[in-house]
Amino acid sequence: MPCSDALCRGFCRHCGSVHSLAVDPAIAEAQKLMQLLDAHKQIDFDGQTINPEKICTDFLYGEARGKMFGVLVCEKTDGEQLTIKAFSGQYNGLWDVVGWVPPLFDVHDFWQLLNPIEKKIKELGRRLENMADGSTEQGRVKQLRKELSQTLMKKIHELYRLHNFKKQQCSLTDLFPQKQGIPTGTGDCCAPKLLNYAARNQLKPIGLAEFYWGKSNRSATRSQGIFYPACTSKCGPILGFLLCGIKEL
Ligand SMILES: [Zn+2]
Ligand SMILES: [Zn+2]
């Protein structure tokens, strides 16, 4: 696939136009990252992590399979070039790894919210195992578990703060129509993580490239070392906002 097709773009409701960011200026840096992953066999290239057992690239070739990685080449206010990097979602249960940009929410708040509710959901799951199929009791507990999961998702989405290059902020719910659900994992792809970090740290984006690394996904639509455009279902609705103000810098 020609690299220039792997564009990062989105419609901005505020400007009524499409904002986009080139991929070509980031290709060489992405290839450097591939070489580092290959050479180090883990994702902490400076040896500073507190979770050395969790950051091996072996993880990408097992049950969990591979994932997307991304780089954003940007310019600091003094004109110096800088490359920042991201992995999509969590890496083997970790949101934060030294040298990689953080997610769009406070990680401490995330675990504070998740842990107690997840514990309750698991407890309900265990209770369900001992109930007669089709019983009223089972139906009631199933409904309770469903409601708890939905509330948890909603609260998790509320933790996300998106920043753009016009110094504006918004939440995920601001960008998705009320009736349309927010897909799981929205905001966790590399492009939103990288753009959000750049916007918060006065970095001017020049190029963004995303590639897959590890064992192919189950549907075999992703292969190691190949560049892919930003996804349409999760990133499509939020990239317009995140890229807004990019040229005015
Ligand atoms: Zn995406
Ligand atoms: Zn705009």
Indicate if 32 and 119 belong to the same structural domain: no
Q: What is the pTM of this model?
A: 0.93
Indicate if 197 and 75 belong to the same structural domain: yes
**53 Cα–ligand 1 center, Å:** 27
Instruction: Give the pLDDT confidence of 214-241 residue by residue, as tens digits.
Output: 999 999 999 999 999 999 999 999 999 9
Q: Which residues have beta carbons under 5 A from ligand 1 (an ion)?
A: 189, 231, 234-235
Give pLDDT tens digits along the chain (249 positions): 444 555 899 999 999 999 999 999 999 999 999 999 999 999 999 888 788 889 999 999 999 999 999 999 999 999 999 999 999 999 999 999 999 999 999 999 999 999 999 999 999 999 998 898 889 999 999 999 999 999 999 999 999 999 999 999 999 999 988 778 899 999 999 999 999 999 999 999 999 999 999 999 999 999 999 999 999 999 999 999 999 999 744
| 8 A C-beta contact, residue 51 and residue 63 | no
Indicate if 195 and 147 belong to the same structural domain: no
Count of the separate structural domains present in the chain: 2
Residue-range definition of the domain harbouring residue 38: 3-105+161-243
**133 Cα–ligand 1 center, Å:** 39
Indicate if 167 and 96 belong to the same structural domain: yes
CA geometry: angle at 187 spanning 183 and 191, to 5°? 125
Asked if residue 248 is part of any domain, the answer here is no
Q: Which ligand is nearest to the CA of 186?
A: 1
**212 Cα–ligand 1 center, Å:** 12
β-bridge pairing 8-12 and 17-21? antiparallel
Domain final residue, candidates 121, 137, 159: 159
Indicate if 91 and 116 belong to the same structural domain: no
| Amino acid, single-letter form, for residue 69 | F
Q: What's the token pair of residue 64?
A: 């969990």
Indicate if 87 and 23 belong to the same structural domain: yes
